[in-house]
Amino acid sequence: MIKIQIHKNLHGINKDTDLDVNIEIKSGEFLAISGKSGSGKTTLLRILAGLEKAKGKIEVNGEIWLDEKNSLIPQKRGIGFVFQDYALFENMSVLQNLLFVKKDINLASHLLQITELSALKNRSTKTLSGGQKQRVSLCRAMMNRPKLLLLDEPLSALDSEMRAKLQTEILSLHKEFKTTTIMVSHDPSEIYKLSSRVLILDNGKIIKDGTAKKVLLKTSGSQKFSFSGELLEIKKVDVIFIAIVSIGQQLVEVVINESEAKCLKIGQTVNLSTKAFSPSISY
Amino acid sequence: MLDILQNINYTPFILSFKLAGLTTLILFILALPLSWYLSQTHSKIKPVLEAITALPIVLPPSVLGFYILYTLSYNSSIGAFFHEYFGIDLVFNFHSLVIASCFYSLPFMVQPLQSGFESINKNMLEASYISGKSKIVTILKVAIPNIKPALLTAIIVTFSHTVGEFGVVLMVGGSIPGETKVASVAIYEMVEIMDYSSAHIYSGLMLIMSFLTLLSVYIFNHKQKFSGFIK
């Protein structure tokens, strides 16, 4: 059980906000944190790692990491951290990166095998691709069998194919090691696939807390489909109006009536929903 | 030509290199912790320390030499202390040259190391702390190996700069053959007594050696940038 009750002043670009987080995380849970940039997600991870100061209390399996008087140094917390930019030790080979954490050649070989890196173990980390670097970073974080694994947008720099592959690897590592994991992510499908619980942070406060299904599914009432997207353009074609909306990586055209066209503003975030009963899926 | 090269008195050169080698070694040991501190601290005294370390770049060597001479001579308490208790004189001998060179070349060691340390990805250091490694282990195993080009630049530039120093050496050490008469001072004296052929040979040797050292630094740094495999 991890109890987190922290408070910190965040110096944002536009305004100062307060990070106020009060949560309990069960052992073995996979928690995802999502929210706009500047909402305090990374800061929260860094506080948990002991890399940044904060007021409050952190208790992990009965061990006090932070209270009014003391803050346990990062070296003694026994965590794994995967940085957004990988942060591999560039002077070492893949295998050396892992062994630097702990001289456990069996575990290192096992991790490299799971992540299909065995063939690259003697390569300099400078020559690896983004996906390979991220895997090394993940393996390195697992080397001291952490009590808590922190992932800071671990897959954000990768293409969708590589993402899907690494998501599976993260999931199998989580199942095997049963490490309590906290991951910052923006990708709903990633969160849905990996996490058992989602927090949404906004301006330093938790505004939603629940299962991925409950927090992320945007449909409500009788709607069958609902997507949120950005309104890019409204075109008038003969007597009808067509709105072009960007949803995820795709653009869609929707017919709207004149009064709707007058209310909507370009750049606005809009919800697109349908009540059709049997939509077809094709690929 | 070979005749001329064989008949040259190489003592000033040997002295120059001995001085530069010692100075580089001492400065390397002293500057590593200082430059690490400067690269990591956000303290208010950082600009003060940076200004002090950079002073030898702007000060005329004669000014620096004068202050060092004054501080180390018997007239000052430091000079008197060493003379009284250790029987060591700190001026007009080789010791004084080493002390003066350490001050004179300090920025050339500290600045490349500091910018090297500053250029390291902070997350890399934090990853090491999180792995349970202390600051010392992190500096030795992660920080220093990742700034090899900066290390080499610092060492070579400090060495070359000390070989090339003239004003401070002359002020603090004078020109005692075999003791304080380094190559640059020797060349100055040769020109003064109009022995141009010797001055030519000495200067030519200095030029070639300086060029070769700098060339090797640049070749190494270039190779470092494009090297892929760790042996």
> Which of A75, A82, A126 is the best mutation test for B, with the most CBs of B within 10 A?
A75
- If asked whether residues A160 and A246 sit together in one domain, one would say no
Asked if A239 and A134 sit in the same domain, the reply is no
In a domain, A9, yes or no: yes
Same domain (yes/no): A137, A269: no
Q: What CATH number corresponds to the domain at position A141?
A: 3.40.50.300
pLDDT at B231: 39
Amino acid at B115: S
- pLDDT value at position A73? 93
Q: Residue A261: which CATH number?
A: 2.40.50
A221 has a pLDDT exceeding 60: no
Residue A89 belongs to a domain: yes
Question: Is A30 contained in some domain?
Answer: yes
Do A63 and A173 belong to one domain?
yes
Residue A282: inside a domain, yes or no?
A: no
The mean pLDDT of B137-152, rounded to a whole number, is: 93
Domains of chain B with CATH codes: 2-39+56-119+148-222 (1.10.3720.10)
**Nearest CB to B230; choose among A78, A93, A140:** A93
**Are A100 and B128 inside 8 Å of each other by CB?**
yes
Beta-carbon separation of A140 and B227 below 8 A: no
Measured CA to CA, the distance from residue B124 to residue B43 in angstroms comes to: 22
pLDDT attached to residue B229:
43
- Do the Cβ atoms of A127 and B127 come within 8 Å? no
Rounded mean pLDDT, B115-143: 94
Among A4-18, B133-147, B166-180, top mean pLDDT goes to B133-147
Indicate if the pLDDT at residue A269 is higher than 70: yes
pTM: 0.80
Lowest mean pLDDT among A31-40, A48-57, A218-227: A218-227
3-state SS, one letter per residue, for B98-151: HHHHHHHHHHHHHHHHHHHHHHCCHHHHHHHHHCCCCHHHHHHHHHHHHHHHHH
A171 and A204 housed in the same domain: yes
Q: How high does pLDDT run on average in chain A?
A: 87
- Chain B CB contacts of A93 under 8 Å are 230
Distance from A206 to chain B by nearest Cα, in Å? 26
Mean pLDDT of the region B193-200: 90
Q: Are A156 and A249 part of one and the same domain?
A: no
Residue B57: its pLDDT value, please?
92
Q: What is the 3-state secondary structure (H, E, C) of chain A?
A: CEEEEEEEEEECCCCEEEEEEEEEECCCCEEEEEECCCCCHHHHHHHHHCCCCCEEEEEECCEEEECCCCECCHHHCCEEEECCCCCCCCCCEHHHHHHHHCCCHHHHHHHHHHCCCHHHCCCEHHHCCHHHHHHHHHHHHHCCCCCEEEEECCCCCCCHHHHHHHHHHHHHHHHHHCCEEEEECCCHHHHHHHCCEEEEEECCEEEEEECHHHHHCCCCCCCCEEEEEEEEEEEEECCEEEEEEEECCEEEEEEECHHHHHHCCCCCEEEEEECCCCCCCCC
User: Do A172 and A77 fall within a single domain?
Assistant: yes
> How many folded domains does chain A comprise?
2
Domain residue limits at A143: 2-216
What is the predicted ipTM? 0.80
Question: Of A195, A216, A237, which marks where a domain is finished?
Answer: A216
How many other CB atoms sit within 10 Å of the CB of residue B84? 11
A140 falls within a domain: yes
Instruction: Verify that A194 and A239 share a domain, yes or no.
Output: no
Task: Report chain B's mean pLDDT, rounded to a whole number.
Answer: 89
Do A88 and A212 lie in a common domain? yes
Å between A83 CA and nearest CA of chain B:
7
Residue A279 lies in a domain: no
Contacts of A89 in chain B (CB under 8 A): 124, 127-128, 142, 146
Instruction: Tell me the residue length of chain B.
Output: 231
What mean pLDDT comes out for the span B189-206? 91
User: Closest Cα partner for A218 from A241, A242, A243, A200?
Assistant: A200
pLDDT band at A47 (very low <50, low <70, confident <90, very high): very high
Q: How large a percentage of chain A has pLDDT more than 70?
A: 93
- The residue in chain A having the minimum alpha-carbon distance to the alpha carbon of residue B128 is A101
Please state the rounded mean pLDDT for residues A151-157. 87
> Is A280 inside a domain boundary?
no
Residue A24 resides in a domain: yes
Query: Residues of A with CB below 8 A from B127's CB?
Result: 81, 83, 87-89, 140
Q: B202-224: per-residue pLDDT in tens? A: 899 889 988 888 888 888 878 87
- On whether both A176 and A94 belong to a single domain, the answer is yes
Query: Do A24 and A142 reside in the same domain of the chain?
Result: yes
Question: pLDDT tens digits, residue range B45-79?
Answer: 999 999 999 999 999 999 999 999 999 888 888 88
Q: Is A174 found in the same domain as A38?
A: yes
